[in-house]
Amino acid sequence: MNLTDWYPFVVPFSNGWILHDPTSLGEHLVYDASDFEVNIRTTQAGVVIAASGLADPEPNGEWTRYRLAGAHTFAFSASDQFLVYDAVAGAAAARIRSYYYPGYETEGAAILNAATRAIGLFEAKFGTYPYGSLSIVQADLNDGQEYDGLVFLATKFYNEYDGSARSNLTAIGVHEMAHQWWFGLVGNDQAMEPWLDEAMAFYSEAIFYKYIYPNSADWWWNFRVNYFGPSGYVDTTIYDSPSFRAYVNAVYLNGANFMEALNYRMGDDDFYRFLQDYTSRYGRGRATAYDFFAVARQNTTADISDLIAAYFRGNY
Ligand SMILES: [Zn+2]
């Protein structure tokens, strides 16, 4: 049982309540950061809970208490079938747990391995991992889905896995982990400016392959981006596109093309200092495209206006 957006919450207020209509294309909810304390009690023995929070949940009488500070959502999953692998990753020694089903030991271990590498790399490039733990949960979804300190990955990715990092399990798994910085740490309006979390999480896959599996970096760009011939404005909303493919091509894929051009224009030193500056200023809050480009310009002497004009509809 997967519980996501399962409780009532107050949407942000900024010149009005920020509550957008759902669509089939992307996420529409916007959250302020909150401190969560969730107590869970099961009425049946043998149920394993996968949840966000501190490195370890605390016993609280008959209940188990989960604390998660400065997060946008609290999701959890419960199963009497879950098996678990765990490891510690990053400077903050976050506890990484891979929850998988019997028969998926190889894949459950592989995604844990990818997670420890990704968390270590992204901490060095983006800033400290924001939570005490990360739960990676195998689930009967069609895709991956990110929450704070918890990500779901489709069983089909586990079924397809052939032992290579050139796989959806690794690429999409790393994508959802990158959302811990782009969505989890730095929030945004997912409906009106979805590129701020999706282009960033998607481009983080490229960063992962560039540094962890450099022999597969070209594979990633061909398999994930070039094959689809992406086009469209990166600052497309979830309401603008005629199809999911057109939305992904504009926001995710052309977003990665823009980020690669921005990285190249700024150079690695300025580019990664910019990303760390951005997470430190807007962490536990929400950023806009204007914020993103203001911080970028403060970290480079290069003129980036032609890149913005080429990829964005808005004038930032
Ligand atoms: Zn995503």
64 Cα: distance to centroid of ligand 1 (angstroms)? 30
16 Cα: distance to centroid of ligand 1 (angstroms)? 27
Is residue 312 predicted with pLDDT exceeding 90?
A: yes
34 Cα: distance to centroid of ligand 1 (angstroms)? 21
173 Cα: distance to centroid of ligand 1 (angstroms)? 10
301 Cα: distance to centroid of ligand 1 (angstroms)? 30
Q: What is the pLDDT of residue 175?
A: 98
- Ion ligand 1 nearby residues (CB, 5 A): 198, 201
Distance CA 315, CA 116 (A): 38
Sheet of 48-51: strand order equals: 2-3, 76-79, 48-51
Average pLDDT in the chain: 96
pLDDT tier at 37, thresholds 50, 70, 90: very high
Task: Give, in order, the Cα–Cα distances in Å from 30 to each of 73, 193, 204, 248.
Answer: 10, 11, 22, 20
306 Cα: distance to centroid of ligand 1 (angstroms)? 27
Q: What is the pLDDT of residue 67?
A: 96
**pLDDT tens per residue, range 256-304:** 999 999 999 999 999 999 999 999 999 999 999 999 999 999 999 999 9
Q: What is the pLDDT of residue 55?
A: 84
Is residue 176 predicted with pLDDT exceeding 90?
A: yes
Exposed, middle or buried by CB within 10 Å (0-12, 13-18, 19+), for 170? Answer: buried
Exposed, middle or buried by CB within 10 Å (0-12, 13-18, 19+), for 142? Answer: exposed
Q: What is the pLDDT of residue 273?
A: 98
Model's pTM, two decimal places? 0.97
192 Cα: distance to centroid of ligand 1 (angstroms)? 15
pLDDT tier at 90, thresholds 50, 70, 90: confident
63 Cα: distance to centroid of ligand 1 (angstroms)? 33
39 Cα: distance to centroid of ligand 1 (angstroms)? 28
